[in-house]
Amino acid sequence: MLQPNAQAEVRLPKADSKSAEHGATGHRARLRQRLLEGGAEALADYEVLEYLLFAAFRQGDTKPLAKALLARFGSFAGVLDATPGALMQVKGMGETSVGALKSVALAARRMARSEVRQEPVLGSWQALLDYLTIDMAHLTVERVRVLYLDSRNRLMLDDHVCDGSIDEAAIHPREVIRKALDIGSSALILVHNHPSGDPSPSRADIQITKRIAEAGRLLGIVVHDHVIVGREGHTSLRAKGLL
């Protein structure tokens, strides 16, 4: 539950005249029509944010607030991935408007996750990358996850292992493999993000991957890949010949 914030959500200014009020209402109607008729690319990023904020502000112009959010967080994805506390710091944002934006971010993650769960992961690799990018690319902390797969390479468990640098102090090869044995998984994919945005693997990334892969080979658990996600893209250690 969001905590009360000293900066309360402010009401957008009401129209000063009937004509101005009609203009604001007309703008909302036109934006809605473009959305319904024009498809995914019908609206600019700030217009999508405008529309999402309609749920929190029943009257008034939400364009300035939408543009302020983009200026503060740098991109549409950055706005949706921002923490509630950070969003609250933007003048005009409160619990209702933050909730409107976070619900959309949650819906996007749920949709991407459902795509991954429906098909074998190795046969729907792009869906997996989309899911990981939506979920991790804009995180401000390094997060380590292990995707455990069954014998048909379907996702069994998306395990959030820890937050922090990927090394043996945070992720133990024997614990990763033990979890696979405990749940009956026959393969896994390691995943983590680089908050810097650059998905290039570090020496520690490569070393821990090789140790987990070797531990898995001894017990019949296949490590398919280690995917590193960043704002600038992603890196597959297998594709780079490092696994």
Assess contact for 189 and 220: CB atoms under 8 A: no
219 & 149 share domain: yes
88 & 133 share domain: no
What percent of the chain clears pLDDT 70, i.e. is strictly above it? 84
Dig out the tokens for 242 from the structure.
């490092």
136 & 166 share domain: yes
Would you say residue 15 has pLDDT above 50?
no
pLDDT of residue 5: 44
Would you say residue 7 has pLDDT above 50?
no
pLDDT of residue 172: 87
124 & 40 share domain: no
Mean pLDDT to the nearest integer, 76-97: 89
Cα–Cα distance measured from residue 39 to residue 139, given in angstroms and rounded to the nearest whole number? 29
Q: Which residue has the higher pLDDT, 123 or 62?
A: 62
Asked, for residue 158, whether it belongs to a domain, the answer is yes
Would you say residue 63 has pLDDT above 80?
yes
Would you say residue 24 has pLDDT above 70?
no
The residue to which tokens 């944010």 are assigned:
49
150 & 61 share domain: no
Q: Which residue has the higher pLDDT, 46 or 212?
A: 212
Mean pLDDT to the nearest integer, 121-127: 77
The last residue of a domain, from among 76, 109, 142 = 109
Residue 44 banded pLDDT, cuts 50, 70, 90: confident
Weakest-pLDDT range from 52-56, 132-136, 162-166, 170-174 = 162-166
Asked, for residue 100, whether it belongs to a domain, the answer is yes
94 & 151 share domain: no
pLDDT of residue 179: 95
96 & 131 share domain: no
Asked, for residue 8, whether it belongs to a domain, the answer is no
Mean pLDDT to the nearest integer, 119-133: 79
Asked, for residue 3, whether it belongs to a domain, the answer is no
DSSP the chain: -PPP-SSPPPPPPPPSSHHHHHHHHHHHHHHHHHHHHH-TTSS-HHHHHHHHHTTT-SSS--HHHHHHHHHHHSSHHHHHHS-HHHHHTSTT--HHHHHHHHHHHHHHHHHHHHHHHHS-GGGSHHHHHHHHHHHHTT-SS-EEEEEEE-TT--EEEEEEEEES--STTT--HHHHHHHHHHHT--EEEEEEE-TTS--PPPHHHHHHHHHHHHHHHHTT-EEEEEEEEETTEEEETTTTT--
Q: Which residues contact 144 (CB under 8 A, 6 or more apart)?
A: 160, 161, 162, 163, 164, 166, 170, 171, 190, 191, 192
Task: Give the tens place of pLDDT for each residue, 216-241.
Answer: 999 999 999 999 998 888 999 999 99
Would you say residue 146 has pLDDT above 80?
yes
Asked, for residue 59, whether it belongs to a domain, the answer is yes
Whole-model pTM? 0.65
- The domain containing residue 187 runs over which residues? 120-236
Between the ranges 29-33, 172-176, 183-187, where is the mean pLDDT highest? Answer: 183-187
Asked, for residue 2, whether it belongs to a domain, the answer is no
The last residue of a domain, from among 54, 86, 109 = 109
135 & 207 share domain: yes
Q: Which residue has the higher pLDDT, 146 or 118?
A: 146
Asked, for residue 243, whether it belongs to a domain, the answer is no
* Count of domains observed in the chain: 2
74 & 126 share domain: no
Q: b/e string for 50-78 if b means 16 or more Cβ within 10 A?
A: bbbbeebbeebbbeebbebbbebbeebbb
CATH code, domain carrying 32 = 1.10.150.20
93 & 133 share domain: no
pLDDT, the chain, mean:
83
Asked, for residue 43, whether it belongs to a domain, the answer is yes
Would you say residue 13 has pLDDT above 60?
no
127 & 102 share domain: no
63 & 37 share domain: yes
CATH code, domain carrying 160 = 3.40.140.10
Weakest-pLDDT range from 1-10, 58-67, 179-188 = 1-10
Assess contact for 149 and 186: CB atoms under 8 A: yes
